[in-house]
Amino acid sequence: MTDLFRQYCKDESGGTAIEYGLVVMILLAALISIVGTGGSVYDMYQKLTAIVTAMS
C-alpha cells in the first residue's frame, strides 16, 4: 500500500492539463469581473494599452 501511495505522489501525468485549467479559470474570472462591473472589453484594452505605453 505504501508503494502505491509513493508511486501516486511521483506521478506527474495530467499536471499540464490541470495547469491549463487553472489558467482558463483565471481568465474567465477576469472576464466575468469586467463584464459584471459594466465594463467592456474595449475599456479593458484601453487601460492595458495605457499601462503598456507608460511602461515603455
**For 8-45, how does the pLDDT look when each residue is reduced to its tens digit (9 = 90+)?**
677 766 667 777 788 888 888 887 777 766 667 777 78
Number of domains observed in the structure of the chain: 1
Whether residue 3 has pLDDT greater than 70: yes
pLDDT of residue 7: 76
Domain that holds residue 35: 2-55
pLDDT of residue 21: 81
The Cα–Cα gap between 45 and 42 comes to 5
pLDDT of residue 37: 65
Give φ, ψ of 12 to 5 degrees. Answer: -110, 5
Cβ atoms of 34 and 41 within 8 Å: the answer is yes
pLDDT of residue 39: 65
pTM of the model: 0.43
Report the sign of the C-alpha dihedral through residues 34, 39, 40, 44, in that order: negative
Distances (CA, A) of 42 to 3, 7, 12, 35: 54, 49, 39, 11
